Each structure stands twice: as C-alpha cells, then as structure tokens.
Amino acid sequence: MLVGDERVRAAGMQVNDGLDRVEEAARDGGRVVTAGSLRELGHAVAEWGYQRVPHAIEDFNELVAGRRKPRDGEHDRMYNASPLVDPPYFAVEVQPGITFPFAGLRVDARTRVLDDSGSPIEGLLAAGVDVHAFDSVYGGGLGLSLTTGRRAGRTTLESATSTVHAH
C-alpha cells in the first residue's frame, strides 16, 4: 500500500506529466482512499485488511523528524525524509511489478558508460535498468533491457574483433 499526504501528492506523484496518480488510480477502479486524518485513513484501509497504519505513519514521522533513532535493521533515510503531516492523506493499494528508476548511468549509442565530461570509460558498458534513458516518460523496462543488452553485446564483439585484428 502506498500512503502519502498532500505534500507528497502535489510534489511527487505527477512525474512531470501533470497526471494526478491518486485520481487516475481511483478513476481506473483501483482501491484508493483519501482522509482528513490518520485515524480516518486507518479505519478506511482496515476494511482492506491493513492494520496499524496510523501507528506506522506516526513511527515513520518520528524517525524522519529526528525524534527517535533508527532501530536494528532500520537505516536513516536519504530520500523522502519528510514527515507526512499535511492532510488530506491518501492510500492506494498497489502491487509489485517490474520497473526501474528514471535515473541511471549515462551511456553513448554503443552503451559505453560516460564519465562526468561525457567521454566513454574504457571497457565499461551498461544495459537494462542501469541505463539512464528516460527523463519523464516511461518507455518499458523490458524493451530497454532487450535493446541495450543487444547493443552492449554488439559493442563487446566489435571491441574483441578490433583487438584481434590489431594484433
């Protein structure tokens, strides 16, 4: 289950395309709830089988606000480290799937990893989800993996062939 508050919804749920992901999920028949308080949110998602959601959010808020230390197995957060305190709150039932981040290693057309100056790093290739290919539009992780994987293979063969001919 994905939960957030108005700040998260306004800032992070639109991925630069102007769509309201919570609204879209509801329109497409997904399990979505909005609530004016954590308690209301907890009651609503309890009907879906989720328990102690307000407690979990309050615990998260304590951690990111610095009012408690991380417990065993828990780490300080580098990203999304702001408390959820701006109602209305939302919850969207989600399920895992194949996906990838929009960030990744910069590569050239031969899938060679580029350094900070934009020059290829000798012998270092990247393919699939490790490649930065999309800025704000999802293009399909499996297709990206297939095409960049094949290109990296071709680059490797070209490199090996040129090495053999050089000797």
* Strand stretches in the chain, DSSP E: 2-4, 32-35, 89-92, 112-114, 120-125
pLDDT given for residue 152 in this prediction: 85
* 75 and 119 share one domain: no
Note whether 30 and 78 are same-domain residues: yes
Model pTM? 0.59
Residue 65, domain extent: 2-92
Residue 85 sits in the same domain as residue 116: no
Whether residue 13 is contained in a domain is answered as: yes
Q: Would you say residue 148 lies in a domain? A: yes
Domain-located, residue 137: yes
- Residue 158 or residue 43, greater confidence: 43
Please report the pLDDT score of residue 46 as a whole number: 98
> pLDDT tens digit string along 101-123?
667 788 898 889 999 999 999 99
Residues 118-163: tens digit of each pLDDT:
999 999 998 887 777 665 556 666 666 777 788 888 888 888 877 6
Do 57 and 8 share a structural domain? Answer: yes
Residue 106 within a domain: no
Is 99 part of any domain?
A: no
Q: Are residues 54 and 126 in the same domain?
A: no
pLDDT band for 83, please (50, 70, 90 cuts).
Answer: very high
How many distinct structural domains can be found in the chain?
2
Is residue 36 one of the residues assigned to a domain? Answer: yes
Q: Tell me which of 96 and 34 has the higher pLDDT.
A: 34
Question: How many CB atoms within 10 Å of residue 29?
Answer: 7
Please tell me whether residues 71 and 122 are part of one structural domain: no
Please indicate, yes or no, whether residues 84 and 133 belong to a single structural domain of this protein.
Answer: no
Other CB atoms within a 10 A radius of the CB of residue 20 amount to 13
